[in-house]
Amino acid sequence: MTELRETKPMSEQKTPIEVRVPALLRDCTKQKTRFSLEAATLTDALTRLVQEYPLLRRHIYDEAGQLRQHVLIFYNDNNIKWLERLDLPLQPGDRLSVVQAVSGGA
C-alpha cells in the first residue's frame, strides 16, 4: 500500500538551488562563494538570499531597493534584468549567480 503524503501546492514547494557569489563578497556570506538555498520561486530565492546573508543587501540593492547598476544576477544563464517576470518556479539544478561588473577608464 502506498503511503499518502501531504504535499504543498507547487507555489510553496521549496527547491534547493546553487548560489554563487564573487570571492570579493564572501565576507558577507560566511566565507562561502558557493552554497545551497531553498526557495519556491526566483523572487523567493532573491528575498531569502538577503534574509540569510543580510550583509549582501547593500552590495546588491541600492537605497530604493533596486538592483545596483554594477551588479548582475543570473538565473541559470539569463540575466534577471532580461526576464519578463521573476515569479518563476524553481527546478532542481537551477543556479543563481551574483556578478559584480567591473568598469573604469584610463
The model's pTM is 0.82
- Please report the pLDDT score of residue 105 as a whole number: 61
- Between CA 1 and CA 63 the distance in angstroms is 56
Asked whether 17 and 45 are in contact (CB, 8 A), the reply is: yes
Can you identify the CATH homologous superfamily of domain 12-100?
Answer: Beta-grasp domain (3.10.20.30)
Annotate 25-40 with three-state secondary structure.
HHHHCCCCCEEEEEEC
Residue ranges of the domains in the chain? 12-100
Whole-number average pLDDT of the chain: 88
CA distances 84 to 31, 37, 38, 88, 95, Å, are: 33, 23, 22, 10, 18
For 15, phi and psi rounded to 5 degrees? -120, 130
- Please report the pLDDT score of residue 102 as a whole number: 76
- Please report the pLDDT score of residue 104 as a whole number: 63
pLDDT tens digit sequence for 1-31: 333 344 445 556 899 999 999 999 999 999 9
For 86, phi and psi rounded to 5 degrees? -110, 0
